[in-house]
Chain A
Amino acid sequence: MTGNLAGILRKLGDKPWIWSYLGMILIWLATVTYTMGQGGGSIISAALSFATFTVIVGIGQMFVITTGPGNVDLSIPATIALSGAICMKVMDGSNAMLPVGVLIALGTGIAVGAFNYMLIRVLRIPPIIATLSASFLILSTAIAYGRGLKIKPPPLLADFTTMKIAGIPLLAVFIIVFAILASILLNRTLYGRSVLAIGQNMRAAWLAGINVERIRYATYTLSAILAGFCGLLLAGFSGGASLDMGSEYLLASIAVVVIGGTSVAGGKSNIPGIWGASLFMFLLVTMLNTFGASAGIRLIMTGLIIVAVITVAGGDKQQR
């Protein structure tokens, strides 16, 4: 019996993402208990809606972090703002221009990814500084282009991003499917395996025949493209683009990766955990709101709980 239990515990220990789901359920229960069962369903529905955007950028951030210590993409918020601004301006509220908007989101991502990687590779700037300084340039571009800001999104885009079927947001369903695809990309393709190998030991990866530079380039580009799409969808969801709509995703994209069980030391990642962690983060804020906590308390509690969760669940003894 005890052996059985130990086995189960060890299995759970192998899956660090389990903690984010556990925390999510606990917080939801606490909230619903407080409201005495009122609004439990709508909280979940809202959580799915909002967590979707965190998941999109979180997956991109996860691939970047997986390529090893020091790799992180801090230009995500700026890319979201730039992509949202340009898309809204070009589409100008017209459904017919929607395919063009999609291409622009994609193009913005490709351009930002190439620029980031150029700073990292050609100028040999550490990724943390390269992507941070790139984000100033990207944001300035968005500001210069800021005339697109008060434009409504095309109705089709707005409907798509806000539509719910039986309380479940349509977009969330798409992103759940996307997360499954990303998981396959990570574990079953040459690209994914190469990312995991580089994250463990870049030199050994090179000596094992992996084209390290091409893979890193692709990874920064993937992260930027996902941020670009996040910008387009977020603008559609919130009825227009704004320059600061990406700002909360700086911490969020990194926090969901770490809470979700991805190793900050690289080489080991976890996609289910990103969904769990994103829902956890939203429900946490909702719970504090429900309890009537003031904005200050809310921020303090959010910070403390993130630190606590990372300490308890994110600790990975195998890390070197």
Chain B
Amino acid sequence: MSAMRVDAKVVMLGKESVGKTSLVERYVHHRFLVGPYQNTIGAAFVAKPIQVGEKVITLGIWDTAGSERYEAMSRIYYRGARAAIVCYDLTDSSSFQRARFWVKELQNCEEHCKIYLCGTKNDLVEADRSVRQIDYHDAQDFAEEIGAQHFETSSKTGINVDELFQKIAEDYNSTAFQYMTAEETGVDLGLKKDSYFYSCCHNN
């Protein structure tokens, strides 16, 4: 448990109740919790190792709260992130507007952060096509425009969830060679100072 090493910081962004926590729950714990909606308070962090070819990469996933109340705090979560999963609810067009906001925010502040656009609750639209409010092709076009990957997932059925995180890990692995410099070798949670997290926070 001690001194967990995190290779890539991944941040979940998106409007509240789009299902960011469910996505993380599904991916990390392979489960889908039914029950009354509970929003995330502040943010939750979880580290998850993932196999990419011969290597094991540890993703440090920041599940942020969607509420506007925490917007001012969001910078500390996406700062230095290598990947951002920007979620929107396939059945809620306003959540797509919010996703656009986050994309803009990331483009302005974190140019090295790769964006993964993720439409959630795919099981709902599979069950009843009329509830879909975001067209697949519109989202796909938007993703291409901003140079992002695009997924439609369901945390309930688990469809595309592992694929999404696998893709993130693979992308990280293939780009790691380009960006990686001596001091950017990831975060050692056992260390207090001079970690990647700190160096990037302090010159802000």
Q: Do A and B share a complex?
A: no
Residues of chain B having any CB pair with chain A under 8 Å: none
